[in-house]
Structure formats: structure tokens, C-alpha cells
Amino acid sequence: MTESVGTENFVDIDQVKVGKELQASQRVNGVWPKLRVQHVSKSFQSKDRNFYVLEDINLEIQQGEFVCIVGPSGCGKTTLLNIVAGLEKADSGDVWADDHKINGAGTDRVVIFQEAALFPWLNVVKNVEFGLKLKGFNGKERRNIAIEYLKMVHLSKFQHAQVHELSGGMKQRVAIARALAMNPEMLLMDEPFSALDAQTRWILHYELQNIWLKTRKTILFVTHNIREAVCLADRIIILSTAPGKIKKEFLVELPRPRDDNDVNVAGYSTRIMKELKAEINKVMKCEMDADSCVECDIKCTTEGPAKTDIGGGI
Amino acid sequence: MQSILKRTMFYILFIGIWEGLFRLGIWPEYVLPSPVSVFKTLVHGFQNHTFLIGIAISMKRIAIGYGISIVVGIFLGLLIGRVRLFEETLGSFFTGLQTLPTICWLPLSLLWFGLNDRSIIFLVFMGAVLSITIATDAGVKSVPSLYIRAAKTMGAKGWKLYLEVIIPAALPHIITGMKQGWSFAWRSLMAGELLIVCLGLGHLMMIGRELNDMSQVIAVMIVIIIIGILVDRLFFVKVEQRIRERWGLVKG
Ligand SMILES: Nc1ncnc2c1ncn2[C@@H]1O[C@H](COP(=O)(O)OP(=O)(O)OP(=O)(O)O)[C@@H](O)[C@H]1O
Ligand SMILES: [Mg+2]
């Protein structure tokens, strides 16, 4: 693919336009979007005042779409994902899955967390069976399904291993198998690969894309790594910080499976970076200027590495 | 190897001094019997089954009392650990109660149940239940919220969440509480059996006292020590270690 084609495919959606579209059409071809986030706001109480983490988030995800949410550390990505998952309540606004309003956690939206969250008292295959057991599958059925998904992440040999015997990357793959085994409508992934080394991450990016091509699940994937987002997503949503707002959207139209180190992926990342530079500078400046406040200073230094990560990708 | 040698030497020396003191004949036999006669009583006691029956009766009591205390203790621990109201009321109440030596429940137990088995079982129960409750409470509070959130997105709720996630996640704490509870229960069992005359190992010791048979008293003491070591060292310590390893609490 030449660079010019790549540039042509680089579609930049204006946030205002997205907002308008959302109000105009709720249904595309008579089908509900898989997920609709409408005017969601969320604040947390801190000492005497409450500060907004998310402000008027509007978002629509179609069946089978792979969407990445990107934003600096602390901008409210996890909070947004938790609200979609039903693990946290929004202050205002609604979240709809298909035609029903989300009210609490549900097995149609399974979350994969930053840490694998495998249960150490169960072995690998029993971890994968966990949700199936709750769904009422009998022993043999759920064992078969679990093995099938363990094969998909190439870990069927480790089915009887204990959790503490696995590496970080293997744990995360088991977590993916466990989520997929539930056959959910939607996968919600919260920086699932950020604790892994670059090489393992590279492998899992490849595997996740293949799984997605095979299953065509709707995926909402949170990351602060632009390169990762370009590598995985059909659509990238950029959140700004304090309060988290949807800043911009980008469509990525590159053939799959993509490679982190592919020239086009790198090119896209650089372009998005340029667009974001202004925003990041703004945030930096705002925080640096507030140096009279010690608390802000600490916040600045702790958030430092995350910003470099956005700059560098991997 | 070194330490086993040292330990063996110690016991040989210990028994040697004991035998030596006995041979000096300063004290009558009902004050200080010889190690040989203690050993003979021990063998004899097992041969004519009196020790075995004593052990069986004591074990049955502790099994019932301790068994009930596990169920009740875990249940109360879950309540205190998960429900704010119980935490604020029962929580501090139990911590206060735990400062009371278990044997202080004896008069109350006697009035409630009389001079019988049930009194002893109640003492055993009271000995273990608070430790298990408090440990379960601590365990429940230390369950990573990540496990609970993960389980919820996979459809766990209500009592299944407790059974499939919270209790297993709290198990390392619960086992530690059970281990401590066991040693308290074992002590209260012996105290109860010494004070309430109705068979069991403690009672065998009292028979020895009544017959001025010091070798029987010491022989039974040895049996009690050995059972204590077997259960604590060989069972609880091993299980605790295995669980902590598997739960990833120690770096293997
Ligand atoms: N339970 C809570 N109580 C108070 N403040 C909270 C709570 N949860 C999150 N916050 C605050 O909300 C903001 C957003 O948090 P969130 O975890 O959503 O960020 P994030 O974008 O996921 O960051 P990261 O990339 O570091 O994971 C942070 O400033 C955080 O301090
Ligand atoms: Mg986060």
C-alpha cells in the first residue's frame, strides 16, 4: 500500500458531526447499534468538591466494530468502560446495548482487565469454565467449550496448569479465552496488554486480530498507546483529560492482520500524534502553570511517563 | 541433618536426666515415675484400648464443636465482612469477646447444658468460633475487588458470588483462623474434660490423679501433645502453606 492511498483512507470525523448523526439516526438499516452511550457524565467526590471525570460522552458502536478509546492516564477511560460494563453507575446519561438500557453487569458484556483477574483457586481450564458453570452448562459441555477457546489462544496444553505457573502473557490469553467462552455480545478490554513486554504484546496484538476476524465480536478496547490503537482498531476515539470528553475520532482502514511495526501503522500513529500534540501541550501547560499547588505538582510527575508513552507508542 | 542429631541428643539427655532423678529416689513414684513405667503405661493403655476409647471420645467432641464453629464462624465472618451494619455492631462485640479466656464460659455452659457432653462441646465451639469469625472477616475484606468485578461480568451474583468467589478468595485467611481456632478448641476441650467428669482424654488424666498413678497422667499428657503436633504441624501448617503458594501469596 502506497503512502498516498494510506493518506486517502485516513478519515477524520469531526466531533460535532458525530454528535449530530447520533441525534438524527438511532437505527441503521433498521438495526440498533450494538452500543449507545448517551450524554454520560460522571464525577467523583474529593474532599469538599466533586470533580468531573467524564462529561457528556456520546458514543455509538456498531455490531462487529473494533473501537479503541485512547487518552492520557487519568482521563477516565477505565471509568467509561466500567460504566459500559455496568460495574459503575453514571451520574447522568444512559448506556444502551442493542435495544435495552444497561442496568448493572451482564454476561453480554464481558470485561478483560489490565491484570488477568484469573482465580488462583481454579486451574486454567476451570477458570475458563467459570462463567459457563454459572450459565448452567453441564460438566462435559463446558469442558468442551473451554478447551475449544483454550485452543484458540494456543494454551490447550496448559489446561491443567495452576494460575501461578503461568507467565503474564499466558494469563492474559487465558483471560481472553475465558471471556470468549461466555460468547458475549461485546468484549470490553481495559488496557489488557499494558503490563506485558513489547514482544508478548506484539504476539497478542496479532492473536487478538485473528480472533476478531474469526468471531467478529464487537470490541471496545481502552489503551493509552496510540500505536496499539492503530494496530487494532477500525475506529479510534480520543478522550481529552479533566474532564474526559470525546476530542476526536479517527477511522483506520488498513488491511488486517496489522503489525505494530508496519510502516502504515507507524504513519497513522504519527499523524494522530500530530493532531494530539496541541491537546497534550495544553494539558502539560495547564499542569505546569498550576505549580503553586503542591498536589498538582505531584500529579504532573506521576503522569509524566504516560505522556511519553503516547509520544513514542511502543 | 545436624538439627535432627541435636534434637535426638536432647531427648536422650532429657530422658537420661529424668531416669537419673528417679533413681536417686528423692521423690516417691506418684510424684516422679520413671520414664520406663510411663512408656509401659502408654503401651498398656493402647493395648487394652482405654487410650483409644479416650481419644475417640475426645475427637468426637472436638469434631462436633469445631465443625459447628467452622460453619457458624465463616457465616458470621461473611456477615461482618460484607454488611456494614453487622461490621459496626457485631464486629467490635466479637473483638471484645475474644479477650475473654474460653474457660470463663464454663459456668455459663454448666448452667445452660449441665454436667455433660454438650457442655464440653459448647466450650470447644466457643474456643474456636471467634478466631474463625475474625479471620474470615479479615479475609473477606482483603478479597481483591478485581476478582469480584471479574466474576460479576461473568454473571456471578447473590449467594453464588459468595460461594464461588468470596469464600475461596478469602480461604488463606480462613485457614489461618481455623488453625488458630483449632488450638483454642483443643485447649478448651482438655479444660472441659478435666472439669466435667465424662470420659475422654482429660478424664483419663483425672483417673490417673485419683489413683495416684502419675505414670498414667504423664502418658496421657504425651498422647495429647502428640495429637496436637499431628494436627497442627502435619495438617494445618501443610495445608496453609499449600494454599498460600497456590493463591500466589508466596513467591514459589
Ligand atoms: N472511585 C473513585 N473515587 C475517586 N476518584 C476516582 C475513582 N475512580 C477513579 N477516580 C478518578 O477519576 C479519574 C479517572 O480515572 P480512570 O481510572 O477512569 O482513568 P484512566 O483513564 O483509566 O487512567 P489510566 O490510563 O491510568 O488507567 C482519575 O483522576 C481518578 O483519580
Ligand atoms: Mg485505567
**Is it the case that residue A291 has pLDDT exceeding 70?**
no
* Phi, psi torsion values for A33, nearest 5 degrees: -60, 155
CATH number at residue A21: 3.40.50.300
Q: Is residue A216 part of a domain?
A: yes
Residue A73: the pLDDT is: 80
Specify the residue with its C-alpha closest to ligand 1, atom 20: A74
**Is it the case that residue A54 has pLDDT exceeding 60?**
yes
CB neighbour burial string for B24-46, b if at least 16 within 10 angstroms, e if fewer: eeeeeeeebbbeebbeebbeebe
- Grid coordinates representing B85? 451494619
Nearest CA in chain A to B166: A119
Q: Is residue A294 part of a domain?
A: no
Q: Is residue A228 part of a domain?
A: yes
* Omega within 30 of 0 (cis) for the link into A33: no
**Is it the case that residue B80 has pLDDT exceeding 90?**
yes
Specify the residue with its C-alpha closest to ligand 1, atom 17: A78
Ligand 2 centroid to Cα of residue A191, in Å, is 7
Provide the 10 A C-beta neighbour count for residue A43: 16
Which ipTM value was assigned to this complex?
0.79
Q: Is residue A262 part of a domain?
A: yes
Helix extents (H) in chain A: 3-9, 15-24, 77-85, 124-135, 139-152, 168-181, 198-215, 226-232, 263-289, 294-312
**Is it the case that residue A20 has pLDDT exceeding 50?**
no
Q: Is the pLDDT higher at A295 or at A128?
A: A128
Residue A279: the pLDDT is: 66
Q: Which of A44-53, A138-147, A263-272 has the highest mean pLDDT?
A: A138-147
Contacts of A111 in chain B (CB under 8 A): 149-150, 153
Task: Give pLDDT tens digits for B88-101.
Answer: 889 889 988 989 99
CA B35, CA B22: separation in Å to the nearest integer? 9
Domain that holds residue A205: 7-108+184-287
Q: Which of A42, A44, A237, A283 has most ligand 1 atoms within 8 Å of its beta carbon, as the pocket-test mutant?
A: A44
Section B183-212 average pLDDT: 90
Residue A177: partners with Cβ closer than 8 Å, 6 or more residues away: A128, A146, A149, A150, A152, A153, A155
Chain A contact for B241 (CB, 8 A cutoff): no
Check CB contact under 8 Å for A120 and B165.
Answer: no
**Is it the case that residue A11 has pLDDT exceeding 70?**
no
Residue A302: the pLDDT is: 34
CA B68, CA B46: separation in Å to the nearest integer? 30
Check CB contact under 8 Å for B245 and A164.
Answer: yes
Check CB contact under 8 Å for A117 and B146.
Answer: yes
Contacts of A182 in chain B (CB under 8 A): 154-155
Residue A21: the pLDDT is: 44
The domains of chain B, with CATH numbers, are 35-247 (1.10.3720.10)
Best of B153, B162, B165 to mutate (most A CBs within 10 Å, chain A):
B153
Q: Considering Cα of B20, then B23, then B29, then B35, what sign does the dihedral take? A: positive
CA A273, CA A236: separation in Å to the nearest integer? 12
The closest of A153, A218, A210, A157 to A183, measured between CA atoms, is A218
Strand pairing category for A186-190 and A109-112: parallel
Residue A131: partners with Cβ closer than 8 Å, 6 or more residues away: A107, A110, A178, A181, A182, B154, B155
Beta bridge partners of A251: A11, A235
pTM: predicted TM-score of the whole model, two decimal places: 0.80
Place of cell 516417691: B28
> Residue B23's Cα: distance from chain center in Å?
37
Q: How far is A192 from chain B (nearest CA, A)?
A: 13
Q: Is residue A11 part of a domain?
A: yes
Q: Which of A32-36, A279-283, B128-132 has the highest mean pLDDT?
A: B128-132
Q: Is residue A65 part of a domain?
A: yes
Place of cell 509520544: A311
- Ligand 1, CB within 6 Å, residue ranges: A 44, 53, 71, 73-79, 224
Beta bridge partners of A244: A54
Specify the 3-state DSSP secondary structure of A275.
Answer: helix
Ligand 1 centroid to Cα of residue A230, in Å, is 24
- Whether the CB-CB separation of B249 and B172 falls below 8 Å is answered with yes
Chain A contact for B209 (CB, 8 A cutoff): no
The mean of the pLDDT values for chain B is 92
Task: Give pLDDT tens digits for A76-116.
Answer: 899 999 999 999 999 999 999 888 888 888 889 999 999 88
Q: Is residue A162 part of a domain?
A: no
Residue A51: the pLDDT is: 82
- Number of compact structural domains in chain A: 1
Contacts of B149 in chain A (CB under 8 A): 82, 87, 105, 111, 113, 117
